[in-house]
Amino acid sequence: MSLLLLKSTVGKKEEKSIDDLIRELGVDFKDRSLLDKALLHRSYSTEYSISKDNERLEFLGDSLLNASVTIMLYKLFPEKDEGDLTKIKAKLVSRKSLKKWGEKLGLENYIKLGTRAKKFYNKRNSRILEDTMEAVIGAIYLDSGFEMVNKFIRNYMRERDFHKITDFKSSLQEYTVKKFNQIPEYIILSETGPAHKKIFKVEVIINNKSYGKGKGYSKKNAQQEAAKEAYSQLAD
């Protein structure tokens, strides 16, 4: 068991252990001291005269996050140019994205801060949370390698609403026009539920073959989900 029992963290008052965080991460650690280090803010290390903090891991994690997302987007969007890919990547690796990721994991409950830093910690000024998220990525790499980093990042990205980041219908159409000289056809399979909250199920057909299905509270959202599935299949 790690020595990290978090009476000195910035989050809830109840005590949490490193095991709780590992379960949230979905990544086991062979060397848990790496994760301990990723959670050590410089203010804590300074106050308690500890010779380590998470800043080097943060530097490493930032580079790994960018590399992993870049590779993912390069494979997923073969028809997009450098400018489009750069815009999508910027949103996925932004401070806002890191903040949401850290909040989802409850990471603030595990960060170790010095007394003064803890006193002035503010969720709206979440730089510490975002930096720690990068440090955790760095720790995963040192413990388990780049493939585990990719898996960890992909698991999170799958939960993001990609249609809010990019238009899959447009991407799919660009792809199919180039490859098949055809525009995708969207067929409504069903409409269920009350009039004020209908659920639409849609199928996308290309070359007389079904490539994806989706559902949503509007036809547009259902089509985006179907296009997302079809595009992922074709890009693979």
Which residue(s) pair with 17 in the sheet? 5
The single residue of 36, 58, 62, 225 carrying the catalytic annotation is 62
3-state secondary structure of 201: strand
Picking from 181, 189, 175, the residue whose alpha carbon sits closest to that of residue 228 is: 175
Q: Is residue 159 flagged as an active site residue?
A: no
Angle at which helix 219-235 crosses helix 55-76, to 10 degrees, equals 90
Q: What is the largest CA-CA distance in the chain?
A: 68
For 176, the token pair is: 């199919």
The stretches of 42-94 forming alpha helices (DSSP H) are: 42-47, 55-76, 82-92
To the query of whether residue 20 is one of the catalytic residues in this protein, the response is no
Give the whole-angstrom CA distance, residue 217 versus residue 224: 11
Q: Which of 134, 143, 203, 225 is catalytic?
A: 134
Q: Based on the number of CB atoms within 10 Å of its own CB, is 176 exposed (0-12), middle (13-18) or buried (19 or more)?
A: buried
Is 187 in contact with 211 (CB distance < 8 Å)? no
74-111 burial by CB neighbour count: b if 16+ within 10 A, else e?
eebbebbeeeebeebbeebbeeebbbbbbeebebbbbb
Q: Which residues are catalytic?
A: 62, 134
